[in-house]
Amino acid sequence: MHDKLPPLPLAKCTNCFEIKLAHRVCPNCGHYNKKTKVFEVEKA
């Protein structure tokens, strides 16, 4: 029996090219699915 977790589905953001989880909003720039901006990222 295998006790190993499956690898995370990683993808590259199409806007800023950062590595992110697939099918998730990019935590770096807030984009999802090429051109939809979901939220603004605040600079503290």
pLDDT-based confidence at residue 31 (cuts at 50, 70, 90): confident
One-letter identity of residue 36: T
Question: Is the pTM for the entire model greater than 0.95?
Answer: no
Sign of torsion over alpha carbons 39, 23, 29, 16: negative
Residue 39: per-residue pLDDT: 67
Average pLDDT, the chain: 84
Residue 41: per-residue pLDDT: 62
Structure tokens at 2: 């295998």
